[in-house]
Every structure is written in structure tokens, then in C-alpha cells.
């Protein structure tokens, strides 16, 4: 009954096998390994973007921060939601790697920015001449940190607003594939065809040991990213171990299969939660994570039975039994339906 995070789950066996195979003999470093050539082409094919620039890093924070640094200037502000990972969970890494660009928070509905709220936020900036921040890129999290998913139409509406101000759009895709399979669209439809300029294409939360791809649909910025990655200490010497993971991930649809397994497990979990009295499912979860409200006493029973998940509000150990606290549950590719059923049974007892 382990639901703390999808980055706490195991790497897929096929990924580990690929790493063992990559460990044989010698290979050029710093991204000049032969598998990286194949990975670059595989990603270009998947995204239907033959000229896209593709680079690998080991962490999501590096992917987001370095990509945003490539798209922005130090005197600009990046527009994002209040619960965006770049705002809440990256220890000011975007501000650091951009050399000082700030973040402007955009109001949300169901954890998603809307075209009107984005436009309102943009209009409030670049109004004080040289004395205030200038408008910078828009960062959209897909799937959101609350488990909701932007439709293609919603993405297009956001990027249309961004482009009307001459701004670039970045997609934080830590759970990119979970959103993709939820929508049933193509990678191209969810990105550059919808107006997205750059993507942090996540793998770590979806069964990889640790690798993310930074994809730019305008290859002109590739060299700048290369320099920022090296200067920022994120260029791997033994790069083949990043390439091997991504190669295994993209082979025979493994990346899609793992996301489907995680999403299916979460749907099973949501169905169970909806059958428990005193439990309220929050937002409109469509991917592999769900938030729910339940009385403190119910959280205590579940945790005492061995369930592991985060209680996001209040102390589950002390306070009124009937006080409603918010829990977060996340399913990864290896989530077991039997464990989900045991968890729901404990809540119902």
C-alpha cells in the first residue's frame, strides 16, 4: 500500500537490462555515444518534429530550469500556476539558472491556468518600464500537480494568449506520458501543434532510473542549451547511461504501457475512494495521482494499517478525529490492484 510518489517506485526491468548492456566496453562521453543518436531520432519521430533539438539530463529540476533559462532573460518573469513544481518544489532553481528571472503566479481552475487568468496575469506585468520585470515565457504543467490534465484545446488557448504577447511556451512534462494516454492524442498534438515551444519530457516518474529529455522545436537554441547544461554542471560524462534508459523507454511502446498501467491503477483507486463514506475526491483526477479529503481518524486507521502516502494538510497524529485532512495518493507503473483493494478495505472498516 505504497502511494507516496511515482518517483519512489522501481525502475522497469527492461530499463535495468538496458543499463547492464550499456555497461559493456567503451563509449564516447558527453552525449557522443551511439545510442544517443538513435534516441534523438526516436524522439523526433514520436513528436513528428524532424528538426527538434533533443538533450538529456538526469533530473526534472534540471530539465525545467535549464529549459526555462534557454527561453528567458534574467530581467523577465515566467508565468506559471501557484502549484507548479517550478514554484513549490525546485528551491528557486529556475531563478538561479535563469540568472534572476522571477515567477508570476497565474490563477487556476481545477489546478489549470485558463486563457483569461493567463492574460490577466500577463497584462499586470511589463507596466513599469525598466523598473519592473519584463514578460517572459509561460510554463504549463501537463499533467498538473493535482492530477488534472489540460485538453489540447485548453493548451492551444493558453499558447494563443502567450503568442499574442510574443512569449514562448514551455511544458513541464514530468508526467507527460500519463497526460498523453489520458487524452488519447499524439505527442505532436499535445505539444508543438498546440503551440508549445519546448518540453521537459519526463521519464523518472514513469519507470526510469533517472533521465529527462529537453526538447526544443526550434533547433536554433540548441547550442545555447548545450552551454547552459555544461555551465550548470548537468552534462554527464558517462552519458551512455542516460541514453540507454531513454532508448529502452521508447522501444516497443514501453513508455506508453507504463503510463497506462499507472493511470489504470489510479482509476481503480479513485473508484474505490468514491465508494467510501466520509471521503471526498478533490479536483478532477485524470492521470496517476489523486487528492482526497477524509477525517483525521480515517487517515490514522489507514496509516496504522501500513498505508504510505502524504497527508498534505494538518497533523494526522493529533487533533479532532472528525477534522478533514487532505491526502495525496500516487500510482506508478508497478502499482498493485490488490494493494489498492486492501487500502480501500481499511478505509471502509
The residue ranges of the chain whose pLDDT is under 70 are: none
Pairing relation of β-strands 289-295 and 310-311? Answer: unpaired
Distances (CA, A) of 10 to 128, 258, 334: 50, 12, 7
Q: Can you give the pLDDT at residue 313?
A: 86
Contacts of 18 (CB under 8 A, 6+ apart): 244, 245, 247, 248
- Rounded Cα–Cα distance for residues 264 and 317 (Å): 31
Q: Can you give the pLDDT at residue 349?
A: 82
Domain boundaries, the chain: 14-252, 255-342
CATH code assigned to 255-342: 3.90.1150.10
What's domain 14-252's architecture? 3-Layer(aba) Sandwich (3.40)
Q: Can you give the pLDDT at residue 62?
A: 98
Long-range contacts of 114-121 (CB under 8 A, 24+ apart): 114/154, 114/157, 114/158, 115/157, 115/158, 115/160, 115/161, 118/79, 118/158, 118/161, 118/162, 119/161, 121/79
Other Cβ atoms closer than 10 A to 329: 27
Q: Can you give the pLDDT at residue 314?
A: 83
Angle of helix 60-71 relative to helix 222-231, nearest 10 degrees, comes to 130
Q: Can you give the pLDDT at residue 37?
A: 97
Q: Can you give the pLDDT at residue 311?
A: 96
Amino acid at each position: 500500500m505504497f502511494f507516496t510518489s511515482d518517483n519512489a517506485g522501481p525502475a522497469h526491468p527492461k530499463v535495468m537490462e538496458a543499463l547492464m548492456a550499456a555497461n559493456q566496453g567503451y563509449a564516447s562521453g558527453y552525449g557522443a555515444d551511439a545510442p544517443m543518436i538513435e534516441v534523438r531520432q526516436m524522439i523526433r519521430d514520436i513528436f513528428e518534429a524532424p528538426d527538434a533539438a533533443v538533450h538529456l539530463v538526469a533530473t526534472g529540476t534540471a530539465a525545467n530550469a535549464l529549459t526555462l533559462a534557454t527561453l528567458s532573460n534574467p530581467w523577465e518573469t515566467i508565468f506559471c500556476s501557484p502549484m507548479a513544481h517550478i514554484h513549490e518544489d525546485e528551491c528557486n532553481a529556475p531563478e538561479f539558472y535563469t540568472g534572476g528571472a522571477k515567477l508570476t503566479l497565474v490563477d487556476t481552475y481545477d489546478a489549470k491556468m485558463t486563457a483569461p487568468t493567463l492574460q490577466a496575469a500577463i497584462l499586470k506585468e511589463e507596466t513599469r518600464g525598466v523598473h519592473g520585470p519584463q514578460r517572459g515565457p509561460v510554463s504549463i504543467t501537463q499533467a498538473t500537480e493535482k492530477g488534472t490534465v489540460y485538453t489540447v484545446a485548453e493548451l492551444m488557448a493558453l499558447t494563443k494568449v502567450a503568442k499574442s504577447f510574443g512569449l514562448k511556451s514551455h511544458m513541464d512534462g514530468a508526467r507527460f506520458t500519463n497526460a498523453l494516454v489520458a487524452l488519447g492524442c499524439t505527442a505532436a498534438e499535445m505539444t508543438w501543434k498546440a503551440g508549445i515551444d519546448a518540453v521537459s519530457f519526463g521519464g523518472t516518474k514513469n519507470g526510469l532510473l533517472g533521465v529527462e529529455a529537453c526538447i526544443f522545436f526550434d533547433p536554433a537554441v540548441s547550442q545555447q542549451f548545450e552551454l547552459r547544461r555544461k555551465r550548470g554542471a548537468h552534462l554527464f560524462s558517462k552519458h551512455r547511461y542516460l541514453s540507454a534508459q531513454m532508448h529502452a523507454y521508447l522501444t516497443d511502446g514501453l513508455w506508453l504501457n507504463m503510463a497506462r498501467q499507472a493511470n489504470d491503477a489510479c482509476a481503480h483507486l479513485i473508484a474505490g475512494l468514491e465508494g467510501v463514506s466520509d471521503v471526498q475526491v478533490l479536483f478532477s483526477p485524470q492521470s496517476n495521482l489523486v487528492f482526497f479529503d477524509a477525517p483525521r481518524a480515517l487517515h490514522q486507521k489507514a496509516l496504522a494499517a501500513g498505508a504510505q502516502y502524504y497527508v498534505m494538510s494538518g497533523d494526522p497524529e493529533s487533533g479532532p478525529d472528525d477534522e478533514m485532512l487532505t491526502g495525496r495518493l500516487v500510482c506508478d507503473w508497478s502499482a498493485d490492484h490488490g494493494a489498492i483493494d486492501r487500502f480501500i478495505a481499511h478505509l471502509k472498516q
